[in-house]
Structure 1
Amino acid sequence: MTTTTDLAVRPLDPADEPRWRELFRAYREFYRLPESEDVVSRTWGWLRDPHHECQAVVAVADGAVVGFAHHRRISSPYTGTSGVFLDDLYTDPQVRGRGVGRALIRRLTDLAASEGRQFVQWVTADDNHRAQALYDSVATRTRWITYEAAATPA
């Protein structure tokens, strides 16, 4: 595997908005989510709000944003530990296989360690085999199955 020239991972910056929006739309399309500028704008607002739990880092290669990782802090009562939850990770298809995803995950494991947290955790789609190949090389696959229930209407 070759790495991308001049790859850096840094916090999201307001100047990243046009490129982040492009990548986030592509991420949503990859997961077959309906187009929604409301969701894109709401998420951007969360990421730019210093008081919101969601944060982001971006990967920059050769001066261009080529990927992002949205994350937040979590606690695990059953283990008495805390960590970082990786909500979304996406890299531009043009740079896949060049270390961008690995660099984004490494930034989050470094962040977790610097804050005294014990883990970084995430989920992925069961058919996202390319991502799983990377994830299997940087993390331990758990035995947990994820469920999701809709909020009860008022």
Structure 2
Amino acid sequence: MSEAVVIEAARQGDEAEWRRLWAGYNAFYEAQVAPHVTARTWQRILDPASPVLGRVARWDGKLAGFSISVLHEGTWVTTPACYLEDLFVDPACRGQGIGRRLIADLVRLGREEGWSRLYWHTRQDNPARRLYDTFVQADDFVRYRMDL
């Protein structure tokens, strides 16, 4: 794992590189996100009052990956929960421990901030599950999703 990897909050000047990575993430999931939604996501990442938390991985000064999470209240807990919604590492930068560091960063932040839990979901056949399983085993819940 390269020591040149730094995980930190996204900054205004990161937008172009983040958009490049965001496009790669959406291509991986074969998703189409409307330009106005992407713009609003970036605005929320930069807004300190937003529950959307954007973290970036810099490797030798360039953006190599990101995580986007949403902090929210829960009915079974008294402190915020963190949903890791998006995690992506540039394919050219994989194998350097960047994904692991992005998740570890959220674990650290959560412990410091007193979050109740960190959770995420992914496709069953996602190769990144090998990494995810080193943090915690998948549970037996099934996801239902209804677009409105």
Give the TM-score normalised by structure 2: 0.92
Note if 1:145 corresponds to 2:137. Answer: no
User: 1:20-48 CA deviation, whole Å, 9 max, x = no partner?
Assistant: 01000111111101263222212111212
SS at match of 1:89: strand
C-alpha contact (below 8 Å) 1:5/1:62 kept by paired residues: no
5 Å-filtered alignment, 1:1-154, equals 3-34=1-32, 36-80=34-78, 82-128=80-126, 130-151=127-148
Distance 1:114 1:35, change over 3 A: closer
Structure 2 unaligned blocks of 5 or more: none
- Amino acid of the residue matched to residue 34 of structure 2? S
The answer (yes or no) to whether the contact 1:4–1:95 under 8 Å persists in 2 is no
Q: Percent identity?
A: 31
State how many pairs are aligned. Answer: 148
Provide runs of 4+ in structure 1 moved above 4 Å. Answer: none
So what's the TM-score if we normalise by structure 1? 0.88
CA distance in 2 between partners of 1:33 and 1:117 (Å)? 30
Note the aligned Cα RMSD (angstroms). 1.6
CA displacement 1:86-143 (0-9 Å, x = unmatched): 0100000011121101000001001110011232100111221x11110001122111
Alignment gaps of 5+ in structure 1: none
